[in-house]
Amino acid sequence: MLSKKGLRVLSQRAKHILESSCPAKCMSTAPEEEKYKVRGRNVLDVMKERPLVGDGGMVIALEKRGYVTAGNWTPEAVLEYPEAVRQLHREFLRAGSDVLQSFTFYAAEGKLKSSSTGKNYTVAEINQAGCDLVKEVAAEGDALTCGGLSPTPSYGQGKGKQAVQDEFRKQVEIYMEHDLDFMLAEFFATIEETEWAIEVMKASGKPCGATMRIGPTSDKSDVDSGECAVRMAAAGADLVGVNCSFGPVTSLKTIEKMKTSLDAAGLEPFLVMQPVAFHTGDCEHNKDGYHEVPEFPLALESRSITRWDARKYARAAYDLGVRYIGGCCGFEPYHIREIAEEVHTLLYFLRNFIIVHYCCVFYNTA
Ligand SMILES: [Zn+2]
């Protein structure tokens, strides 16, 4: 049974969703199939109404299928095997993803040049092909499109802010040309490089977010995880959170810590989570999470989470206030299907709770 306080919180959530989805604030909302549409809408407006379901890990899934080289993890497949990329986007879409991310991970200039695949594709070729594919598949259903920025070797080599941001800018320009719905800096291990990425995305005027691959302790430069969240939000990220390196259980701890710090700082970005689909309890305090376990990257199967684990993660994330719930490496379409079903179950419950709640209010005051 819910306590009185629990009922009050639930009723406030329900009322907020109702008011957000119905401008007239009446019970006759849009037809069911229209009510939760995301396509063509601002990602931030959608998240005020309902949680978004992200997609899963493109790079690991495509490596398993023979289209990506382990170790490099670069996305030449958008040019060489577009049908494979198209099909994986499509599987995430059919499984229930509200957002499809372009397969442009590690597609900045320095990383492409350092790849040992022996390919000489340009930044423009790779990123344009990634944008074309994601837009094509998103248009087959109801999904937003997202372009990503990832860490650059130039940062580690100490080339400085100007050089690193120039690399980010080249990708962002292509995302703008293709009018992707928003951008997400992801897989960053140090807050400084993350802030540089946010600055570049923010200048575009599009909604943007940032996720770091950090655990509950700190980033690689020993900045506390909660402080990292505050700095991401202060730099202008509309969405703040974590991705990769750690599994759902560990990442929930990190998000909880981030939320506490953000609340203390009076900052309210949307929270986003895209953990790996592996159990990482034994490496929770590693700086590199699952990248440091002996099974990485080709013997991780015994660590895989189940569909039930994915479902529990989705509910726990929602309860923590996360409004963008997706996955990174190891999250296959069947995991995303569980997240989507849990989110839709939640929305169904809230919708019906609204009806019951308002009927009761009407009955008691009539
Ligand atoms: Zn990952």
Q: What is the 3-state secondary structure (H, E, C) of the chain?
A: CCCHHHHHHHHHHHHHHHHHHCCCCCCCCCCHHHHCCCCCCCHHHHHHHCCEECCCCHHHHHHHCCCCCCCCCCCCHHHHCHHHHHHHHHHHHHHCCCEEECCCCCCCHHHHHHCCCCCCCCHHHHHHHHHHHHHHHHCCCCCEEEEEECCCHHHHCCCCHHHHHHHHHHHHHHHHHCCCCEEEEEEECCHHHHHHHHHHHHHCCCCEEEEECCCCCECCCCCEHHHHHHHHHHCCCCEEEEECCCCHHHHHHHHHHHHHHHHHHCCCCEEEEECCCECCHHHCCCCCHHHHCCCCCCCCHHHECCHHHHHHHHHHHHHHCEEEECCCCCCCHHHHHHHHHHHHHHHHHHHHHHHHHHHHHHHHHC
Q: Annotated binding site for Zn(2+): which residue ranges?
A: 244, 328-329
- Residue 131: pLDDT band (50, 70, 90) is very high
Say how many Å lie between the CA of residue 33 and the centre of ligand 1: 32
Check residue 64 and give its pLDDT: 95
Per-residue pLDDT at 26 = 31
Report CA(267)–ligand 1 centroid distance (Å): 27
Question: Residues annotated in the binding site, as ranges?
Answer: 244, 328-329
Give me ligand 1 centre to Cα 17, in Å.
32
**Strands 270-274 vs 99-101: parallel, antiparallel or unpaired:** unpaired
pLDDT value for 366: 55
CA of 295 to the centre of ligand 1 (A): 15
- Look up residue 141 and give its two tokens: 């259903």
Q: How confident is the model at residue 312 (pLDDT cuts 50, 70, 90)?
A: very high
The answer on pLDDT for 13 being more than 60 is: no
Per-residue model confidence (pLDDT) at position 8: 54
Distance 287 CA to ligand 1 centre (A): 14
CA of 244 to the centre of ligand 1 (A): 4
Cβ neighbours of residue 288 under 8 Å, at least 6 residues apart?
Answer: 189, 213, 245
209: CA distance to ligand 1 center in Å? 16
Cα 328 to ligand 1 centre (Å) = 4
Residue 27 CA, ligand 1 centroid: distance in Å: 42
Residue 273: predicted pLDDT: 98
* Cα 279 to chain centroid, rounded: 19
Q: Is the pLDDT of residue 17 over 60?
A: no
Edge-to-edge strand order for the sheet containing 144-149? 52-53, 322-325, 270-274, 239-243, 208-212, 182-188, 144-149, 99-101
Cα 213 to ligand 1 centre (Å): 8
Distance 72 CA to ligand 1 centre (A): 13
Grade residue 365 by pLDDT with cuts at 50, 70 and 90.
low
Q: Find the 49 Cα to ligand 1 centroid distance in Å.
A: 28
Mean pLDDT score across all residues of the chain: 90
Which pLDDT belongs to residue 115?
79
Peptide bond preceding 297 in cis form (omega within 30 of 0): yes
Question: What separation in Å is there between the alpha carbon of 202 and the centre of ligand 1?
Answer: 24
Q: Distance between CA atoms of 92 and 335, rounded to whole angstroms?
A: 9
**Per-residue pLDDT reduced to its tens digit, 215-248:** 999 999 999 999 999 999 999 999 999 999 999 9
308 Cα to the center of ligand 1, angstroms: 20
Rounded Cα–Cα distance for residues 325 and 273 (Å): 5
In angstroms, rounded to a whole number, what is the distance separating the alpha carbons of residues 289 and 242? 12
pLDDT at 52: 97
Question: Distance from the CA of 110 to the center of ligand 1, in angstroms?
Answer: 20
- Mean pLDDT, to the nearest integer, of 321-337? 98
pLDDT of 347 strictly over 90:
no
pTM for the whole structure: 0.87
d(CA 300, CA 294): 9
Assign residue 136 a region (left: φ > 0; alpha: ψ between -120 and 50; beta: otherwise).
Answer: alpha
Greater pLDDT, 8 or 311? 311
User: What length is written for the chain?
Assistant: 366
Q: What number is the average pLDDT over the span 287-297?
A: 93
Average pLDDT over residues 70-89: 96
Cα 266-272-276 angle, rounded to 5 deg:
140
Report the pLDDT value the prediction gives residue 3, as an integer from 0 to 100. Answer: 54
